Amino acid sequence: MGIESIRTKYEEQLMRLPNVKGVGIGNKAGKAVIKVLVTHKVPEALLRPAEVVPKTLEGYDTDVEEIGNVMAQS
């Protein structure tokens, strides 16, 4: 499966995690990754195991990026 298919497969699950506002595809160190966009990063030690973004999804690395609060503008 390609990265887009994997992103689509896990998007709903990732969106249920605390602070997650979006899921996409990005680049890190020249490698395609699944980007998980959060309002703010929380140390893994403060999260329950079920709340932690997996380090990889079916062979693709994830990258958690803090984006702050997103608000629609008129």
Question: In the chain, where are the structural domains located?
Answer: 3-66
Q: Is the dihedral of CA 70, 66, 1, 50 positive or negative?
A: negative
So what's the pLDDT on residue 72? 77
CB 69 within 8 A of CB 41: no
pLDDT at 70 over 80: no
Check residue 41 and give its pLDDT.
95
The pTM of the full predicted model, rounded to 2 decimals, is 0.90
Each residue's pLDDT tens digit, 13-69: 999 999 999 999 999 999 999 999 999 999 999 999 999 999 999 999 999 999 988
Q: Which residues contact 15 (CB under 8 A, 6 or more apart)?
A: 22, 23
Overall fold of domain 3-66: Alpha-Beta Plaits (3.30.70)
Token pair listed for 29: 């160190």
